[in-house]
Structure 1
Amino acid sequence: MASTHSAQAGVPHSVTGMAYQRRLVFGVLTVISLVLIYILCKILEKPTPRFYSFTHTTSSAEYSALVSTQHPRTTQTAALKTPTSAAEHNVNITSVGETGTSPKGSVHQAVDRTTDPPFIGDTYTGEDVHPQTNCTDSIRSRFAKTEFAGRFQEQVPVLQWAKHVTPEQYERLKMYPGAHGWGGLDYKTLEDSLSVLTSAANMQLLDDRSRRSNKSKCIHCAVVGNGGILKDSKKGKEIDGHHYVFRSNGAIIPGFEEDVGSRTTHYTFSTNTLVNSMRSYAKFGFKGPPLSNETRFVFLPDHDRDYLLMKAAATHTPVERGPERGKDASKYFGETVSKEKLKMYHPDFIRYIRDRFLRSKILEGAHKDIYRPSTGAVMLLAALHTCDRVSAYGFMTPDFKNYSDHYYDSSYHPVVFYVNHDLRMEMTLWQKLHEAHLIQLYMRQ
């Protein structure tokens, strides 16, 4: 019995060892198989389409040429991939209805743009655009004949107002921070602020164009930067001769009228740039925005403080909260400011010009979240999308080192480059727009 027991007792040990080995081999093979299946799935995986083709297209060669001429340092990368087909650089545009958005009839064929990082967001609200004048040779009609044809989207709204605020639009735009969306802005603040922008004047950049045209078929706009190139230019009278005159930030006029003119029809700013300008340029005589009966104030919304200041100005009440809490908006815009004189750029427009005209390499780096086109660039490109003729003065040109930073500097100060803007790329863009006869850029050479 003992020998029989020993033989029987040895069988389980042998069987157990073999079973363990089999399970180990099976487990290893299972892991290897799962890894191989995962790799195969990633190779065969098809990205979900995110964007839609629109009527405007740009070929791969055209896009590559545009980027390389705008920014000599730009190269093809995974984050800023050059499109492989004409359809890939089109744009999804939806029309805004009274209660939200609905696809336009011209939207069709889904295309893949998943190589773009989420913060790019090359999709925008669109609106039907009707000709403002009878100008037969306007900038908009000439875009199609230039290298910028695929960049230009006339349907992207330049301004935002009450009608744009819907839960659907908020969900779409809250993912984009700063000036490029409604990120960091709660829905109630957005709704309460934009609810005051309901008049026809709030919806149009050139709201009184019929009165100003003086029977001219084409509307002429002067966009005036603050660059030192304007010092001793004697361009003041020429600037004032335009139908509209745009200025921004620390635009100092008293004492410099001969060079920069005296009129201001549109003043572009963010609350931050306005406050900083009043602090930094007070010693040169800058006390605040130019104030006149014809001046409109165009907010470039960077933070909730812009929406809060705009509402305070429209309702003649103190600013509710934030850095300007309790302040009287008349300190900035005068006692008689009305809501009809207030306008606010649409974040879709700012993101559109960033992505399509000023897509800097900064977007590939650590500072991508703070990068945006400069205030002057937004102003100039807004005029380009609205006026029939645009003359640009005081903007950076290739010989910028010959001039001080500002026309009102008492001594020479070199241009300062900050990481939140790409001024060199903007300078190259102005040159290309000038060469394409889309703007008339003032140059001393």
Structure 2
Amino acid sequence: MALQKRLVLGVLTVGSLLVVYILCVNLERPLSWSRVPLKHFNGFIQGAGSGSRDSEEPLDRKSNSDRWSRPPPASTFHPELTVLHQHTRATQTPTLKTQTSAAEHKAAENEAPNVSNSSSGSDREAETGTKGPTVKPRQPTQAAGPTEPPFIGDTYMSGDIPPQTDCPDGVRGRVAKTEFGGRFLKHIPVLQWAEHVTREQHQRLSRYPGAHGWGGLDYATLVETLSVLNSSANWQMLDDWKDRRNKSECSRCAVVGNGGILKDSKKGKEIDAHHYVFRTNGAIIKGFEQDVGSRTTHYTFSTNTLMNSMRSYAGAGYRGPPLSKETRYVFLPDHDRDYLLMKAAATHTPVPRGPERTKDPTKYFGEDVSAEKLKMYHPDFIRYLRNRFLRSNALKTRYKDIYRPSTGAVMLLAALHTCDKVSAYGFMTPDYKNYSDHYYDSSYHQVGFFINHDLRMEMTLWQQLNQAGLIRLYMHK
């Protein structure tokens, strides 16, 4: 009898341990693919509803002031990065080897809706005239990768735009011989302009939200706002190349980030010696010319990042976009407010509605701003950069709709698609912990990492482009 009792007790004990083990295993398993493991992110995560577009604007949306009563600490805040996370464990940066295969990319390129030459019939007229590429719609085509979710949309408009230079060894000529040849589209439109707005294109791009499409933008608003971008200056990034080439065969572009690596770099003269100088967001120049230069030919921003930069970096001396005769303003359209501000700037009228309602655009872009000085990235180009160069694991989470390449990344990759020689300064390098977040920080601020950008993946990309000889990346030796 005693032996029988011991056997029963032993069986019950083993059974209880098995039940506890099974429960522990199930609790550790992710509830669904869309949940975000906290170990992948740094900072704090906003509560319910953080996947909404409002969560992208902690300082700009007055309707959400109760939810964002205290802004993030200055040491971690960045105007375009909006959901902070506390880093608890080192994570592995996704490598570019996980991108869609070159064969699939080639298929997508061949299937993309085509854009014909301008009616002028010659390269010279296409370069200098006011009529640019127009859309010749095809039947709807299926995106590459039949198992990819619809929001990826790896099919793009194609434009037969002649190169502006005859550079014998520029990026366009060398890229095919590198690992990036299979994903680099030479004919994707970098900029959007008036003739891109058709009902067919609106229907196609309305499937993609934010910077990746025209989701949430009605057709009438698009026609009204983009109608002011109707000259060659609006669809060519280097619209004044003929006037500044100075017998040079190749266009040389310096793309300047705001990273702390530039502090005491003494790279100012080298930067200013390029044909074109690209800057973004809180680009503070006064007092830092010796390190970062003084010229700005292209200033890239979204309305959200511009307004946040003016708030966040006012104490460091940032008053707004650089103002000069040669400066072009390149909008990254993240919301309808970008289209509204762009139209207001082109027409010198107050912004009609939205967060910037009644604002005078000349306050930001100067009294001499005109439509010819304005450009706007094409949503196909932003989505292409995300899909083929910076396809982060964030796209597998519930934050997929707010993830996009950072504004600086868009600027650098746009230069890669439009310039012959590209030099990058002030971008994140593997030794980033040795430098403050910005070159103008008065004290050390660590770099912050956020859900809506994958800065580590971008850092890896800069290293790969540099090793492939497609950019020249400034790094401390």
- Could you say if the C-alpha distance between residues 142 and 283 of structure 1 is closer, same or farther in structure 2, counting changes exceeding 3 Å? same
- Quick one: higher RCO (CA 8 Å, sep 6+), 1 or 2? 2
Which of residues 119, 137, 140 in structure 2 aligns to 1:102? 137
Residue 174 (structure 1) aligned with residue 209 (structure 2): no
Describe the superposition over 1:4-31 as per-residue Cα deviations: whole angstroms up to 9, x where unpaired: xxxxxxxxxxxxxxxxxxxxxxxxxxxx
Give the letter for the 2:300 counterpart: T
Shift, 1:96, TM fit: 3.1
Alignment of 1:214-225 (within 5 A): 214-225=246-257
Q: Check whether the contact 2:99–2:391 (CA below 8 A) recurs between aligned residues.
A: no
- Could you say if the C-alpha distance between residues 215 and 189 of structure 1 is closer, same or farther in structure 2, counting changes exceeding 3 Å? same
Give the letter for the 1:244 counterpart: Y
Q: Check whether the contact 2:259–2:426 (CA below 8 A) recurs between aligned residues.
A: yes
In the alignment, which residue of structure 1 is the partner of 2:234?
Answer: 202
Describe the superposition over 1:243-266 as per-residue Cα deviations: whole angstroms up to 9, x where unpaired: 000000000000000000000000
Q: What is the alpha-carbon distance in structure 2 between the residues aligned to residue 129 and residue 90 of structure 1?
A: 20
Q: What is the alpha-carbon distance in structure 2 between the residues aligned to residue 99 and residue 230 of structure 1?
A: 42
| SS of alignment partner, residue 112 of structure 2 | strand
Q: What is the alpha-carbon distance in structure 2 between the residues aligned to residue 305 and residue 87 of structure 1?
A: 35
Shift, 1:139, TM fit: 0.5
Q: What is the alpha-carbon distance in structure 2 between the residues aligned to residue 88 and residue 303 of structure 1?
A: 28
Shift, 1:148, TM fit: 0.4
In the alignment, which residue of structure 2 is the partner of 1:90?
Answer: 107
- Could you say if the C-alpha distance between residues 99 and 342 of structure 1 is closer, same or farther in structure 2, counting changes exceeding 3 Å? closer
Residue 353 (structure 1) aligned with residue 370 (structure 2): no
In the alignment, which residue of structure 1 is the partner of 2:476?
Answer: 444
In the alignment, which residue of structure 2 is the partner of 1:236?
Answer: 268
In the alignment, which residue of structure 1 is the partner of 2:434?
Answer: 402
In the alignment, which residue of structure 1 is the partner of 2:45?
Answer: none
Q: Check whether the contact 2:104–2:145 (CA below 8 A) recurs between aligned residues.
A: no
Quote the sequence identity (%): 71
In the alignment, which residue of structure 1 is the partner of 2:409?
Answer: 377
Aligned positions, number? 368
TM-score (norm 1): 0.80
- Could you say if the C-alpha distance between residues 81 and 375 of structure 1 is closer, same or farther in structure 2, counting changes exceeding 3 Å? closer
Q: Check whether the contact 2:96–2:389 (CA below 8 A) recurs between aligned residues.
A: no
In the alignment, which residue of structure 2 is the partner of 1:268?
Answer: 300
In the alignment, which residue of structure 2 is the partner of 1:365?
Answer: 397
Describe the superposition over 1:107-148 as per-residue Cα deviations: whole angstroms up to 9, x where unpaired: 99x886221101100000110021211110010110000000
Describe the superposition over 1:51-91 as per-residue Cα deviations: whole angstroms up to 9, x where unpaired: xxxxxxxxxxxxxxxxxxxx744699xxx8855x8346632
Q: What is the alpha-carbon distance in structure 2 between the residues aligned to residue 414 and residue 112 of structure 1?
A: 39
- Could you say if the C-alpha distance between residues 247 and 74 of structure 1 is closer, same or farther in structure 2, counting changes exceeding 3 Å? closer
Describe the superposition over 1:334-373 as per-residue Cα deviations: whole angstroms up to 9, x where unpaired: 1110110000000000000100000001001111110000
Q: Check whether the contact 2:144–2:154 (CA below 8 A) recurs between aligned residues.
A: no
* Structure 2: tracts of 5 or more residues without a match: 1-91, 117-132
Give the letter for the 1:262 counterpart: S
In the alignment, which residue of structure 1 is the partner of 2:126?
Answer: none
Describe the superposition over 1:390-429 as per-residue Cα deviations: whole angstroms up to 9, x where unpaired: 0000000000000000000000000011110000000000
Q: What is the alpha-carbon distance in structure 1 between the residues aligned to residue 295 and residue 115 of structure 2?
A: 34
In the alignment, which residue of structure 2 is the partner of 1:18?
Answer: none
Q: What is the alpha-carbon distance in structure 2 between the residues aligned to residue 352 and residue 86 of structure 1?
A: 16
Which of residues 306, 311, 317 in structure 1 aligns to 2:338? 306
Residue 259 (structure 1) aligned with residue 291 (structure 2): yes
Q: Check whether the contact 2:277–2:296 (CA below 8 A) recurs between aligned residues.
A: yes
Which of residues 150, 162, 165 in structure 2 aligns to 1:130? 162
- Could you say if the C-alpha distance between residues 345 and 111 of structure 1 is closer, same or farther in structure 2, counting changes exceeding 3 Å? closer
Q: What is the alpha-carbon distance in structure 2 between the residues aligned to residue 442 and residue 356 of structure 1?
A: 24
In the alignment, which residue of structure 2 is the partner of 1:163?
Answer: 195
Q: Check whether the contact 1:100–1:168 (CA below 8 A) recurs between aligned residues.
A: no
In the alignment, which residue of structure 1 is the partner of 2:353?
Answer: 321
Give the letter for the 2:424 counterpart: A
Residue 187 (structure 1) aligned with residue 219 (structure 2): yes
Shift, 1:186, TM fit: 1.2
Q: What is the alpha-carbon distance in structure 2 between the residues aligned to residue 411 and residue 111 of structure 1?
A: 48
Q: What is the alpha-carbon distance in structure 2 between the residues aligned to residue 74 and residue 231 of structure 1?
A: 29
Q: What is the alpha-carbon distance in structure 1 between the residues aligned to residue 411 and residue 290 of structure 2?
A: 22
Q: Check whether the contact 1:99–1:166 (CA below 8 A) recurs between aligned residues.
A: no
Q: What is the alpha-carbon distance in structure 2 between the residues aligned to residue 182 and residue 346 of structure 1?
A: 10
Q: Check whether the contact 1:96–1:164 (CA below 8 A) recurs between aligned residues.
A: no
Q: What is the alpha-carbon distance in structure 2 between the residues aligned to residue 199 and residue 381 of structure 1?
A: 23
Q: What is the alpha-carbon distance in structure 2 between the residues aligned to residue 314 and residue 395 of structure 1?
A: 31
- Could you say if the C-alpha distance between residues 153 and 82 of structure 1 is closer, same or farther in structure 2, counting changes exceeding 3 Å? closer
In the alignment, which residue of structure 2 is the partner of 1:56?
Answer: none
| SS of alignment partner, residue 401 of structure 1 | helix
Q: What is the alpha-carbon distance in structure 2 between the residues aligned to residue 307 and residue 163 of structure 1?
A: 15
Q: What is the alpha-carbon distance in structure 2 between the residues aligned to residue 155 and residue 181 of structure 1?
A: 18
Q: Check whether the contact 1:93–1:156 (CA below 8 A) recurs between aligned residues.
A: no
In the alignment, which residue of structure 1 is the partner of 2:129?
Answer: none
- Could you say if the C-alpha distance between residues 336 and 89 of structure 1 is closer, same or farther in structure 2, counting changes exceeding 3 Å? same
* Structure 1: tracts of 5 or more residues without a match: 1-70
Describe the superposition over 1:167-187 as per-residue Cα deviations: whole angstroms up to 9, x where unpaired: 000000001000000001111
- Could you say if the C-alpha distance between residues 115 and 81 of structure 1 is closer, same or farther in structure 2, counting changes exceeding 3 Å? farther
Q: Check whether the contact 1:319–1:326 (CA below 8 A) recurs between aligned residues.
A: yes
RMSD of aligned Cα (Å): 2.0
TM-score (norm 2): 0.74
Q: Check whether the contact 1:264–1:294 (CA below 8 A) recurs between aligned residues.
A: yes
Q: Check whether the contact 1:158–1:345 (CA below 8 A) recurs between aligned residues.
A: yes
- Could you say if the C-alpha distance between residues 87 and 254 of structure 1 is closer, same or farther in structure 2, counting changes exceeding 3 Å? closer
Shift, 1:189, TM fit: 1.1
| SS of alignment partner, residue 188 of structure 2 | coil
- Could you say if the C-alpha distance between residues 140 and 378 of structure 1 is closer, same or farther in structure 2, counting changes exceeding 3 Å? same
